[in-house]
């Protein structure tokens, strides 16, 4: 989270998460804020730039124990609305 009055901007810079883009049955990256899930992502296609609706954003990586891949990298920053 960031200071009240600011939002969180997240850019995934590298994406290699096991699973077929759009299905995400094996592994997935789930990004949410206080109100909703902003995206569920897997595969190798970079998600769009995401901005939270509040000062909080969660990034959760969920994985099974079958397939592996490189993972993901991201940059984030606090921004004014």
Using the structure block, give the residue that is written with the tokens 């992502």. Answer: 41
C-alpha distance from residue 66 to each of 24, 41, 69 (Å): 13, 18, 10
Report pLDDT digits (tens) over 10-58: 999 999 999 887 889 889 999 999 999 999 999 999 999 999 999 999 9
Beta bridge partner(s), residue 73? 14
Q: Is 6 exposed, middle or buried (0-12, 13-18, 19+ CB in 10 A)?
A: middle
| Residue 67 confidence (pLDDT) above 80 | no
Amino acid 22: pLDDT: 81
pTM comes to 0.89
Residue 26, pLDDT score: 86
* Dihedral pair phi/psi, residue 25, rounded to 5°: -85, -30
Is residue 69 scored above 90 in pLDDT?
no
Domains of the chain with CATH codes = 7-79 (2.60.120.290)
């Amino acid at each position: 989270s960031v200071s009240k009055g600011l939002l969180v901007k997240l850019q995934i810079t590298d994406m290699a998460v096991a699973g077929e883009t759009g299905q995400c049955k094996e592994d997935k990256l789930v990004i949410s804020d206080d109100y909703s899930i902003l995206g569920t992502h897997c595969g190798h296609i970079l998600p769009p730039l995401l901005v939270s609706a509040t000062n909080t954003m969660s990034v959760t990586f969920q994985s099974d124990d079958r397939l592996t891949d490189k993972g993901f990298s991201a940059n984030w920053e606090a921004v004014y609305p």
